Structure 1
C-alpha cells in the first residue's frame, strides 16, 4: 500500500503503546495471566484456556497478532471472559481490571530498545508526539511516567478517551484536534492491523507498522505505507532524503 501523503507533510506522530513503545509479551503476560486466574476463580486449567481464547499461543509463548488481548480493550477482554455478566457486574469487573492494569502495566513496563533516544530525536526534529492505546488513558499516562517519558508526549489517548477506540478513526481525530493539525499531517505507528486500520479510517497521512510487537511483516505489509523494525528506526526514516515508502525486514 502506498502512502497518499509525502513524508514532508507529516507534523505529528501518534504511537500505539503496547508492542510499539513497550515490549508487549514481557510487559503483559504476567498481568494477563493474573486477570485470567481471577476470571477463572483460581482454576489454573480454566485460566490457561481463557488466556488462549484471549490470544496467547502457549506453544509459541507469545500473543497472536490482533487478538483480543493484543489489540482489544479491557472491555473486550471482560466481555470475552464473562459473557453472562450483568451490566453491574460487568462494570465492576472492568473497573477492577482497569485499576490492576494501570498499576501493574506501569510497574512491569519494558521499553523497546532505543525508545527514549528515538522519541527525543523526533522531538528535536519538530514532531508532536502522542499515544493512542486500547489500554486506558490513565494506563498510558502511568506507563509513560514510569519510563520517564511523560514530557515527550503532547497527548495521551486511551479507549476511554474517545467514543470509539481503535480501529475506529476517533483517536486520530482526537489527536488532530488536540494539536490543531489535520489528520493528513499525522503518522500513525503501531504493531497491529488495528493501528493501520485506524490510520486509514481517519485518512491519516501515513500508516507505519513496526515489527517489535505481535504482528509479522506479512500481516502488516498489506496495510502499512511502511514497515520498520522498531520505533528506533523512525527518526532516520522520517528525516531521510528518500521520501518513498520502504519496507524493512525484521532484524535477524
Structure 2
C-alpha cells in the first residue's frame, strides 16, 4: 500500500460486489473533464469568455487551485444539475434539448479524453480474479460510463453500469446501489461503494451498503471523506490488499 491504513474491521469479509464511482475514482477527473467543462461553459455563455469563466466558477472550478471543488455541481452533479445551474430560465423544452446536447458531447469527449488513474486495469483485474462482481455508478450518463469503460479497455470487467439516467434517482440517493445489488443478485450489505466525493459515501449509507470506501484520487481531501467513509485509501490500487485483510 502507498500509506498505512486502519486494519479491516471484518465487514469486508462479507463483501461480494464492488460498485465504483467513475470520475475521480477510475478516471482522473481534472485531466479528463476540465477541457470538456470549459467547452460546455463556452457554449452556455454563447462564446463570452468572461461569462464562461463565471459559469465554471459557479459549477465548482477553482481557477487558483486549478481543480474542481469537492462535491461541486460539476464534480458531483448530473448534467441536469449543471444545466439547471447555468440556465435557470430555460423552459422545460429548452432544458431537455440542452441536456440531450450536453450528454452527447459528454459521452463522446468523456470517452475520447478519459485518463485512467494509476494501475486501473491491473487493480480491476485483480479484484475480478478474487471473485468480486464489479460495477460502475456515476452521475454521468449510463452511455457515458459504458463509452469510457470501452475506451479504457475495461468494459468486460463490469457487470453493471448505472448512470444518472438509469436508476430513479442519482447519487447521493440509495437508488444506484440498490439497482446494482438487485441486478447482480446480492444484498446491499454485500456491496462496497468506492468513490472520491461525499455523495458516494452518502449513497452507500442511504443504501446500507456493507462498506463505504473513500479514495483520494479525486476532488475530496481526507478530512472531507473520513467522517463519512469506513476507510479512506490513497487510490483503488490499495483495495485488493485491503479487502484481503493484508
TM-score, normalising length: structure 2: 0.96
Runs of 5+ unmatched residues, structure 1: 242-252
Structure 2 contact 15–190 (Cα < 8 Å) conserved: yes
Q: Does structure 1 residue 198 correspond to structure 2 residue 200?
A: no
Matches within 5 A, 1:106-125: 106-125=111-130
Runs (4+) of structure 1 exceeding 2 A deviation are 2-5
Q: What is the number of equivalent residue pairs in this alignment?
A: 241
**1:149 is matched with which residue?**
154
- SS at structure 2 position matched to 1:189: strand
Structure 1 contact 164–170 (Cα < 8 Å) conserved: yes
Aligned residue among 49, 64, 67 for 1:62: 67
**2:92 is matched with which residue?**
87
Q: What is the Cα deviation at residue 5 of structure 1?
A: 6.5
Q: What is the Cα deviation at residue 3 of structure 1?
A: 9.0
Matches within 5 A, 1:25-36: 25-36=30-41
**1:228 is matched with which residue?**
233
Structure 2 contact 15–189 (Cα < 8 Å) conserved: yes
**2:4 is matched with which residue?**
none
**2:109 is matched with which residue?**
104
**1:245 is matched with which residue?**
none
- SS at structure 1 position matched to 2:70: coil
TM-score, normalising length: structure 1: 0.94
**1:179 is matched with which residue?**
184
**1:22 is matched with which residue?**
27
Q: What is the Cα deviation at residue 4 of structure 1?
A: 8.4
Structure 1 contact 5–205 (Cα < 8 Å) conserved: no
**2:50 is matched with which residue?**
45
**2:217 is matched with which residue?**
212
Q: What is the Cα deviation at residue 110 of structure 1?
A: 0.2
